Amino acid sequence: MRRTILSDPHQRAAWDLYGASVLTQNKLGEQKNLTGFNHYLRSNLQVAARNKPIIDDGPLIYELPLKDTKFACAVDEATQSNSVTFDDAADWCKEDGSWFTVYQGHPQNTQRNFFDGPWRLSGVASGQSAIPITSPHDEGLAFPVGAGQKVWFYARITRADGRLSEPFRCDSIVS
């Protein structure tokens, strides 16, 4: 059982240095520094949601994981599944303890051009050094869908050292 969060001064200093060195983008597109504790929380919330051990040691690489520019989803009504395409040459695919988390939004009419939640966990692809994961990755859906609906997805990459990417999005028309 954990008594305190970041009770070790070296761990706090490592996360503070990471926070001071890494810029994140806010919803207005401005580049901002978060505190080390903010980064610790944003990273470990993803870790805790997967029931993995909390990462107390701060990252030694001072950059966020890159967004996946190949991220795309193809939703099938008949199987109620989602085929997620990603860059399987990315470093996280070959790293034990890293993963690619996909969240799905409520299906909408195709006329909608914007969606910002609510989101629900749709699937997770875990990186492995022995047998790197390949794209596409098939997973179930968080919400039932019908043909012709528009569905939004967002994903994040979590690296084994605790670094968490900014969210990146795609949408798909259900076939």
Look up residue 173 and give its DSSP letter: E
Q: Is there a single domain that holds both residue 80 and residue 163?
A: yes
CATH code of 95's domain: 2.60.40
Q: In the block, which residue shows the tokens 């605790």?
A: 162
At 104 the pLDDT is 96
At 119 the pLDDT is 95
Q: Is there a single domain that holds both residue 91 and residue 164?
A: yes
* Residue 81: how many other CB atoms lie within 10 Å: 16
Q: Are 174 and 151 in contact (CB under 8 A)?
A: yes
Q: Is there a single domain that holds both residue 18 and residue 86?
A: no
Last residue of a domain, one of 63, 86, 114: 63
Our count of domains for the chain comes to 2
At 167 the pLDDT is 94
What whole-number distance in Å separates Cα of residue 56 and Cα of residue 37?
11
- Which residue range(s) make up the domain with 147? 72-173
At 6 the pLDDT is 74
At 31 the pLDDT is 95
Q: Is there a single domain that holds both residue 87 and residue 168?
A: yes
Last residue of a domain, one of 63, 94, 117: 63
Q: What is the pTM of this model?
A: 0.88
Q: Is there a single domain that holds both residue 76 and residue 35?
A: no
Closest-CA residue to 126 (of 94, 155, 162):
94
Per-residue pLDDT of the chain (175 residues; tens, 9 = 90+): 565 677 789 999 999 999 999 999 998 999 999 999 999 999 999 899 888 899 999 999 999 999 999 999 999 999 999 999 999 999 999 999 999 999 999 999 999 988 888 999 999 999 999 988 899 999 999 999 999 999 999 999 999 999 999 999 999 999 9
At 7 the pLDDT is 78
